[in-house]
Structure 1
Amino acid sequence: MKAFRHQPLAKAIQLSLLLVAPGLAAAQEADEPGTDARQLDSVTVTGSRIKKADVEDQVPVQVVTREDIERTGLTSVGDVLQQITGAGSGFNRTRNASGNDGFPPDGGGAGAGATTVNLRHLGTKRTLVLVDGQRWVNESSASGVGSAVDLNTIPLAVVERIEVLEDGASSLYGSDAIAGVVNIITRRNFDGAQLSVNYGEYEPGDGATKGVDIAWGGSSGSASWFVGASYQDQEKVSSSDRERTRLPVFGTGLALGSSRVPGGRFVFTDPRNGVRYDLTTDPTLSNPTYTPGLPPCAGGADRPDGFRCWLGSRDAFNYAPFNLLLTPNERAGIFGQFRLELSPTTNWYTRALVNRRTSLNRAAPEPIDLGPGAGSPFTANIVIPANHPFNPFGIQLDSTNISTIRRRPIEGGPRLFEQEVDTTYLGTGIESSFEVGSGTWFWDANLAHGRNEAEQENRGSYNARNIAIALGPTATCAATPGCVPLDIFGFNTITPDMLAFISPVFRDRSENKLTLATANLSGEVFDLPAGALSFATGYEYRKYEGSYDPDPQTVRGEYNGVPSLPTAGEYDVNEVYLELNVPLLADSAFGKKLDLNLAGRYSDYSTFGGEFVPKIGLRWQLADEFLLRSTYAEGFRAPTIGELYASGTRFDANITDPCLISVDGAAPTGNAANCRTLGVPVGARQFDPQIGVETGGNPLLEPERSRSFSAGFVWSPSILENTAIARRVDIEATFYRHAIEGAIQATDPQTQLDLCVESLDPRYCGGITRNPTTGNIDTFANFLGNFDSIKTDGWDFDVFWVLPETPIGNFEFTWQNTWVTRYEATSADGSLQPLEPGRLVSDPVTRSIPEWTSNATLAWQKGNWTASWTARHISELTEDCGDAAGFPICRNDPATGQNRLGATTFHDVQVGYKIDWMRGLQLLAGMNNVFGKDPPVCLSCNLNSFDGSTYDLPGGGFWYVRADLRF
């Protein structure tokens, strides 16, 4: 993996670093370049640190303008970015995280309530987010130390435009820029005031969104300022409000419901007769009175004593109605920046932001598991004496005879996870210029500090230690303050006094801090025959600090839910970089202009040492209307605090155990002899598809290292310009390729279990233990490592068409496409992970990669009227049907056991009118998903039967209105 540092390109750029003295670098925004060659892109974009260099269109950059943002009808930066074609799965408002999501295997926590962006399907942690060219602090989820930026911390009201660099950029921007860079440019040159109000809701009349934005800016003498305040309130939509999401898996009834039921499930061996029972409480009999000696259940026959044989399809619990389809999210923020001209060539600026997000996730009532394999030592080693006042079985129940006891206390209500997240940012700096010979050099120096802190209150969960005391000897309970003996044997048996002892409020908190200092210099060194040699160089210092502090009860191991331990860590980095733009040819037989761009960055990390990454790019403008461009870059991503230092935590994964009869009764698929070797009894049945997977950080992690390549063209055919069919046409095409070695990841749990059963290899089986009686998995270790290599490539193809003026108005057509032709994630042993183009998998981080995504917009304007129509297309996906394989809802196409999620297109429409009152009153009305298209059914998604990170919310369109008044 370290061989990347010693390639000839790296040596060449290291030599270049010695030839130009390091200094300070260009400001993020470049002026319009002065060149005779036609400027193919009128917007200066992210992708170069050189001031006044004609390299901003050398790399593929998508610019989302303020007009584009308003056309979506959305109120979150993250929601807007998740709709671009190059973006993949990420957390958003449909992700009812917490509860079973727990701690996904990327070391970053569940990110409850956050919205993130995932470029090129390489993961949110491999996309760098900047605000005005400066790094933004990562989110803290109150369930871990996050490794990505929560875009809900940046009010949409203060955004002027968003620039998305869809190319590797570690040499320019450092770590995390493997997949690309999102640069959010805030509003600066604003004169006057603007008041905006918005309201929208879904067709069934729920999920209302309402908000108010205020902007004010101006200038006086040498000073200018901008202040923006925003309030947005997104109301919830419950899973019970839509037909699609009212059952655990749509189209399967209760067959795939939970075995953790309100009346209790009791699997134990009676020592009086040696018979193993699998019982649940009969809801038709109010007072179960177990009768010993009755024969074991057969075929679901009723017993006369209030207990009956467990039958999954009849007795399973429907947890779905308790979940949320759309999570409530309330955000309030204020942002301001002030600029002062200190001299004709020097400006001082300061920026500040304060933002608060409150959000809520809801899960079904938390189950209580007892016996071997339960979630904590207190419940795993439970002892319920025979003389316990509520023990109906007349025998002591303990780890010697309990296979599993499961009780879902609906008396305690659903689990509620409420987050309060505060983000603060303060930055200041000086920007200046000076003359060198006949040219101008630019410099800037900047300081910034960002902090994101989160607190989460969890209600409806249980204390495992208190459960064990309340179910244990009555003398111990009597000697414990507040203890009331607990009755879990039947329906509605848990009283408020019992709940008061076992169900406290759990409070977790986490924090991320980022401190940075940068200094940059840019200018032209000397003239070459084809133009001036220009450069940018600079120094950057960053310090990251992060911590996660779960509730003290959780730290003591008393939490009955997903366990976790504290995390704390910090590291810093010193970096220098150099970028050179070398004009090779100008106005020659080989074209209008040929430029060579070289860049390199050296980073010194306190955690792992030094790293150098280079980049080379060519920009060849063959003619005024045609440009070729290509880049090759090497990159890296340093492990984050969560990846390095996260202690043992857990998430619940949907896994089909190949050694067990499945939940719906399907026969085992694994090697029978190997399953016996693993200790699985013949005929053993899987109790539940959700298996707790233990994960955590690894302080020995090395950085990920990457190679990126892109090549493409920009063509503005003059033959179409100012013709009967077009005023202007721009066509862009880009091929991209990314290769990552030593990717920080955990092996897919299903893949790990399948390989264990197939090979008995200790690398896969070493962390998996099974219950000797039931054969079900007790523990499943799945820790982070530099395990994988990831390779992906594909194409972007975009068309921008401005039609001629017509009597009925002006039209513009935009068509943007991304094709993913390859995505391969390979473990160290050579085994392929299941995610690939056209595939959806049950993964808490990245769920699906459509082969083709496409956005097409037709915009119209005539006088004060505007309108637009947008079509968003997602190509078909396939997934494993899993336990739903035997149901008609599993569309066995193209292969048996595979479900096809058909291609889906959503249509959005908007109309607006501007009234010439004050400085303008703009009225907008629109509907997203105007035809109420439902997304295809997902059978492997762990909640709600659809993939909310890929598709729109099911169950009707979303209409909205907006009014903007300028004065």
Structure 2
Amino acid sequence: MRTHLFRRHLLATTIVGGALAAAIPALAQTAQSSPGANEATTVDEIVVTGSRIARPNQDSPVPVSVITAQHIEATGQMNTGDILRTLPEAGVSTFTPTTTTFATANNGVTTVDLRNLGENRTLVLVNGRRHVAGVVGSQIVDFNTIPTDFIERVDVVTGAASAVYGSDALAGVINIITQKDFEGLELSAQGGITDRGDNENYKIGLKFGSNFADDRGNFVGSLGWRKTGSVYARDRCDRQMCVDAGVTSARDQVPGIFSSYIPRGTALIPRPGGLGNLTRVVDDSGAVVPYTNAGFGYNRAAERQLYVPEEQIRFNGQATYNINDNHRFFSEMSLFHGRTSSEIEGNPVGSDNIYTNEFGIDQFPDCRDFDGDGDSECRYGVPIASAIVPTALANAVRAQNPGVADSDLVVGFRRRINDVGNRGNDSERSMARLVAGFEGDITPNLSYELSLNYGRSDYDQRTNGDVITSRFKDALDAVIVGGETVCRDTVARAQGCRPIYVFQEGGISKEAVDYFKASTGLDAFQEQYIVNGYVNGTLPNVSPAGDIGFVIGVEYREEEARSTPDPLTQKGLATGNLTPETRGAFDVREAFAELRVPLLADLPYAQALDLNLAARVSDYSTVGSTTAWAASLEYQPVEWLKLRSQYAVAVRAPNINELFNAGSQTFPIVTDPCEGVTLLNGQAAFFNTRSNIADPDVVLNSGVDASTIGNAVAQACMLDPAVVARVARDGGFALTQPEKQGTTGFNIGNPDLTPETSKTFTAGFLFNPRWNDWWSRLSVSVDYYDISIDDGVGTYGRQTSLNRCYENAASYVPTSPFCGGIQRFAAGSSVGALNQLDIRNLNLAVINVEGLDLKASYSLDLNDAFPAPSMDLGSVSASLTYSHLLDFGSTAFPGAASQTFAGTVGSPENEAVLNLLYARGPLQATVGVQYVGEADTGHFNEAWKSALPSMTFVNAQVRYELNERVNVYAGVDNVFDEYMFIAGTNGDNGQATGWTTFPDVYDGLGRRFYGGFRFSF
């Protein structure tokens, strides 16, 4: 019996103690209460994440990191996702309050990404059951909907777990275990603020619970409110690109950070022959002068919000009722409502947003012979005859285009529409989740669980500051009637049109704004239904080494989602991108099984050898049948050492967005490989000068490059009928500036996708020496992991599609994956130019990540080390989690070059978290240290490439128990105010727009303080 106890203690202390300070307070208690030689103890069997088979304590066949309620309290964090993102196993999250400051959707959402493999490949469970997605159309859970004060622990398993829990668990599983059987009333509150006086945050929580029906039932509930304030770049001038109020140092460090979309407006003066446009400004004196960043540039930091403020209210409840000694009813309810309000500088609107060609494609001003009558005319801009065009500006346009009639002259513009006010997204998110079921014992060796799980997420967003393009265009063309400047179109005038003076700061009246402003938005929901049932049992006396454990179960799941933009956005009538409605649904039927077979037990050098098997067969309405399986061995040669290894094959079925996305519009910048192509004596070739956006005639007159005659790319291009038509018309293929910049495209789902598959291998050991009392306090685990994903859902990329489509004559197949999304103008003045480049999801990518995880913990009663009979010296505990990334790379599609991300921002080779606790009587002090290793930024932008040093962030908290009812605490995050400064504020280096750091990797808020209390009634 004593051997089994040591074995169970080994597993509990190593896995729990080695997790990210998995509740350091609990470690001290564990060390102090470890059974001695003459003590007896009772070891309960529970179900741990990674398997549904009940096991002693934390006996898991795979590495599990555990974060307990005590550790959550010691961080002072208000969001579970913020805690999980500090794990070395966690990667860079797509959605955080610092990275969605002006997202078109999902403002305020907080997600977790394990191993940097993507949130869609991380499965989130609550009490072992799926949670409805918070990002509509995906399987990504919003951690805002899971309250920190209702959690007993969080188990994190990295690596494939689809055989146990189903699709999406390629990177791993996060399982939130909530508190149960609570009696009493508990009030808690916390407040905090940064040392710069922003990001103020508050929360109030009330937890209550009671037994009922003669203690046969228990209900526990939690009601919480939370509010978090914003952060603006203008309040962070020591770390942002501020130039207001005389602050110039940051501007001097990084020139060229200003936007040419300015409140006074810039003019785009077209030059003849498609030579492009001159950028000019009408200054305070009325003169037309060249635009410069230094003289006129707009500093967006003055209005840019860096952190999205939010307000949330939630309710969580759980009820259990013992029907009899063998059967129990259980239920869970979660309700959440959150609001966010983001803000960013005014809308940048240009004439290319307002004026389109005959195909509806946005265009810059262009002057050439459009109608073939031998005379040039200018299009796609404000008529210079409009009364809103200053005389000096009209004269400047005439000077550039002599001989062209005023009726054929236009001028373009770029303007910051601050007159409308800042752009902003006001969004509301709601979530409801209800679980009900029965569990119990059928026989002493056989138990069951049957549950129904319903969840729904709703998202509603309203965006301010947008413009109805047709009305804006009406307001640009004005005439003088009876001494009053009015809109030329009488119908528009009757509807409220007022002229807008885009070349003058403050030149747009409130009445004009009321006419053309647009309030766009998005309405979306996702709904989930799950029926799950399984039996969990043991087969005694079958194996001489112990009972065989097994699980057999079935599951049925339905998912439905819809995302509906407002009518203006669906039709592309506002300045935002055209986005149609996306809706879709699927269902899946699954059967799963697990088997744990003890092979050896209580033998010399084989105290335990167990084989674990798991499998799941699924039938999706979208992708058909899939199979996932896993096999692992656990070998414990002696009481202080355990070896374990697992090989697993997992699957992820594509989600609703990946399958059914109707198309989200974008305006890509690409290089046409066919530019400069021509024919010489019937053979395809390129001109000496292939591209010159200032003057297409330079290309056509540069002469043919003899070395390119018969060039493979040129031959492929001359198989395209649209390119052939352009060459036949002009003698060669040379693009104008508007044609280069006028390409649009859509990102489209693909209902023909197949599942992703992964193969995961892990191997490691658990070490808990029993040589003496000092050594027994040490727990260490080391695990190697290798995760490889095939058929990853991705896209070729537009430039790649172009390059591969026209790689050679054989590659030009109009219906191929590379060529299928390429649409050129088949006729008209822009014949042959790229009109639309669509990309659709395909099963392409191969991804591999490989590394080592180390977890260690040690606890010590100081009185044992330094005997002091007259006083209590307290206890100290330490817990370390360290990850070393050996390899992280991907191949985007077959034949593509492999990319390596190990050692780059977000994927450093070394990461660690160290947590320290000192406890003495009612006093508890904790220190958390997060280490982020050196990284390289080159994979974002070669022009800004730099090597970033390692960073260390320190957090501290002191907690004091005034009496058995009242507990107070105070803490400081980022004690030393560390900040990783990176130049650029427009995502130049891949960072979130507006930031001068990577806020999803490094702490961007700086030093901040918090304090709170918990009062128990």
TM range (shorter): 0.7 to 0.9
Partner secondary structure for residue 377 of structure 1 = coil
Equivalent residue, structure 1, for 2:334 = 353
Question: Is residue 480 of structure 2 the alignment partner of residue 475 of structure 1?
Answer: no
Alpha-carbon separation, structure 2, partners of 1:259 and 1:779: 27
Whether contact under 8 Å (1:94, 1:953) holds in the other structure is no
CA 1:346–1:196 in 2, change beyond 3 Å: closer, same or farther? same
Kindly indicate which of the two structures has a greater share of residues assigned to helix: 2
Equivalent residue, structure 2, for 1:844 = none
Partner secondary structure for residue 803 of structure 1 = strand
Equivalent residue, structure 1, for 2:883 = 818
Structure 1: tracts of 5 or more residues without a match: 1-31, 103-109, 288-305, 664-670, 841-847, 891-897
Whether contact under 8 Å (1:91, 1:114) holds in the other structure is no
Whether contact under 8 Å (1:53, 1:581) holds in the other structure is no
CA 1:653–1:316 in 2, change beyond 3 Å: closer, same or farther? farther
CA 1:776–1:129 in 2, change beyond 3 Å: closer, same or farther? farther
User: Match for 2:82: what amino acid?
Assistant: D
Alpha-carbon separation, structure 2, partners of 1:48 and 1:875: 33
> How many Å apart are 1:544 and its aligned residue?
0.2
Equivalent residue, structure 1, for 2:951 = 904
Equivalent residue, structure 2, for 1:930 = 975
CA 1:54–1:589 in 2, change beyond 3 Å: closer, same or farther? farther
Number of residue pairs matched?
870
Alpha-carbon separation, structure 1, partners of 2:593 and 2:897: 38
> How many Å apart are 1:635 and its aligned residue?
0.8
Whether contact under 8 Å (2:276, 2:737) holds in the other structure is no
Equivalent residue, structure 1, for 2:758 = 706
Partner secondary structure for residue 41 of structure 1 = helix
Alpha-carbon separation, structure 2, partners of 1:881 and 1:602: 39
Whether contact under 8 Å (1:794, 1:820) holds in the other structure is yes
Whether contact under 8 Å (1:93, 1:329) holds in the other structure is no
Equivalent residue, structure 1, for 2:11 = 41
CA 1:41–1:686 in 2, change beyond 3 Å: closer, same or farther? farther
Equivalent residue, structure 2, for 1:86 = 89
Partner secondary structure for residue 960 of structure 1 = strand
Partner secondary structure for residue 436 of structure 2 = strand
Equivalent residue, structure 2, for 1:105 = none
Mapping for residues 133-212 of structure 1, pairs under 5 Å: 133-140=128-135, 145-212=137-204
Equivalent residue, structure 2, for 1:871 = 929
Question: Is residue 854 of structure 2 the alignment partner of residue 797 of structure 1?
Answer: yes
> How many Å apart are 1:282 and its aligned residue?
3.4
Alpha-carbon separation, structure 2, partners of 1:731 and 1:707: 26
CA 1:577–1:902 in 2, change beyond 3 Å: closer, same or farther? same
- CA displacement 1:109-139 (0-9 Å, x = unmatched): x532100010011000100000111100001
- CA displacement 1:148-179 (0-9 Å, x = unmatched): 11111112121111111112100000100110
Alpha-carbon separation, structure 2, partners of 1:595 and 1:748: 47
Alpha-carbon separation, structure 2, partners of 1:626 and 1:780: 58
Equivalent residue, structure 2, for 1:516 = 530
User: Match for 2:278: what amino acid?
Assistant: D
Equivalent residue, structure 2, for 1:291 = none
Partner secondary structure for residue 367 of structure 1 = strand
* Greater C-alpha Rg: 2
> How many Å apart are 1:85 and its aligned residue?
1.0
Comparing 477-486 with 216-225, greater Cα deviation is found at 477-486
Alpha-carbon separation, structure 2, partners of 1:520 and 1:34: 28
- CA displacement 1:296-343 (0-9 Å, x = unmatched): xxxxxxxxxx22223355444322332222110111101111111100
CA 1:123–1:709 in 2, change beyond 3 Å: closer, same or farther? same
- Give the TM-score of the pair, scaled to structure 2: 0.79
Whether contact under 8 Å (2:96, 2:111) holds in the other structure is no
Whether contact under 8 Å (2:132, 2:139) holds in the other structure is no
Alpha-carbon separation, structure 1, partners of 2:593 and 2:930: 40
Equivalent residue, structure 1, for 2:1012 = 962
Equivalent residue, structure 2, for 1:264 = 265
Whether contact under 8 Å (1:707, 1:740) holds in the other structure is yes
Find the partner of 1:729 among 778, 782, 796. 778
User: Match for 1:327: what amino acid?
Assistant: V
Alpha-carbon separation, structure 1, partners of 2:800 and 2:193: 41
Equivalent residue, structure 2, for 1:409 = 417
User: Match for 1:609: what amino acid?
Assistant: G
Mapping for residues 181-580 of structure 1, pairs under 5 Å: 181-220=173-212, 221=214, 222-243=216-237, 244-246=239-241, 253-269=254-270, 277-285=277-285, 287=286, 306-312=287-293, 314-371=295-352, 377=360, 380=363, 382=380, 384-392=382-390, 393=394, 405-435=413-443, 439-471=444-476, 474-475=488-489, 477-478=491-492, 481-526=495-540, 527-580=542-595
User: Match for 1:959: what amino acid?
Assistant: F
Equivalent residue, structure 1, for 2:121 = 126
Find the partner of 1:838 among 903, 925, 929. 903
Alpha-carbon separation, structure 2, partners of 1:920 and 1:851: 45
Whether contact under 8 Å (2:618, 2:625) holds in the other structure is yes
User: Match for 1:87: what amino acid?
Assistant: A
- CA displacement 1:742-772 (0-9 Å, x = unmatched): 1112346687789899999767687578999
Partner secondary structure for residue 343 of structure 1 = coil
Equivalent residue, structure 2, for 1:18 = none
Alpha-carbon separation, structure 2, partners of 1:283 and 1:869: 57
User: Match for 1:926: what amino acid?
Assistant: G
> How many Å apart are 1:818 and its aligned residue?
1.2
Partner secondary structure for residue 718 of structure 1 = coil
Alpha-carbon separation, structure 1, partners of 2:261 and 2:1011: 44
- CA displacement 1:201-247 (0-9 Å, x = unmatched): 11111111111011111223211110111111110011111122235
Question: Is residue 49 of structure 2 the alignment partner of residue 68 of structure 1?
Answer: no
CA 1:739–1:869 in 2, change beyond 3 Å: closer, same or farther? same
- CA displacement 1:270-305 (0-9 Å, x = unmatched): 56x9975412323433x4xxxxxxxxxxxxxxxxxx
- CA displacement 1:544-579 (0-9 Å, x = unmatched): 010001011111221211331101111111100010
Equivalent residue, structure 1, for 2:36 = none
Whether contact under 8 Å (1:193, 1:214) holds in the other structure is yes
Whether contact under 8 Å (1:330, 1:357) holds in the other structure is yes
Where relative contact order (Cα < 8 A, 6+ residues apart) is larger, the structure is 1
Partner secondary structure for residue 40 of structure 1 = helix
User: Match for 2:279: what amino acid?
Assistant: L
Partner secondary structure for residue 90 of structure 1 = coil
Equivalent residue, structure 1, for 2:25 = none
Equivalent residue, structure 2, for 1:112 = 107
- CA displacement 1:635-687 (0-9 Å, x = unmatched): 11111111111121146889999999999xxxxxxx99999999997997999
Alpha-carbon separation, structure 2, partners of 1:122 and 1:250: 37
CA 1:740–1:907 in 2, change beyond 3 Å: closer, same or farther? same
Alpha-carbon separation, structure 1, partners of 2:599 and 2:931: 42
CA 1:790–1:935 in 2, change beyond 3 Å: closer, same or farther? same
Comparing 624-633 with 376-385, greater Cα deviation is found at 376-385
Find the partner of 1:946 among 997, 1000, 1005. 997
CA 1:945–1:686 in 2, change beyond 3 Å: closer, same or farther? farther
Partner secondary structure for residue 408 of structure 1 = strand
Alpha-carbon separation, structure 2, partners of 1:951 and 1:929: 11
> How many Å apart are 1:347 and its aligned residue?
0.6
- CA displacement 1:506-533 (0-9 Å, x = unmatched): 2311101111111110101242111112
Equivalent residue, structure 1, for 2:615 = 600
Alpha-carbon separation, structure 2, partners of 1:397 and 1:47: 77
Whether contact under 8 Å (2:579, 2:663) holds in the other structure is yes
Equivalent residue, structure 1, for 2:480 = none
Alpha-carbon separation, structure 1, partners of 2:669 and 2:876: 49
- Give the TM-score of the pair, scaled to structure 1: 0.83
> How many Å apart are 1:254 and its aligned residue?
4.8
Equivalent residue, structure 1, for 2:34 = none
| % identical equivalent positions | 27
- CA displacement 1:802-825 (0-9 Å, x = unmatched): 124335320001110111211111
Equivalent residue, structure 2, for 1:302 = none
- CA displacement 1:930-967 (0-9 Å, x = unmatched): 0000124164125112111111124x301111211112
Whether contact under 8 Å (1:629, 1:712) holds in the other structure is yes
Alpha-carbon separation, structure 2, partners of 1:641 and 1:852: 36
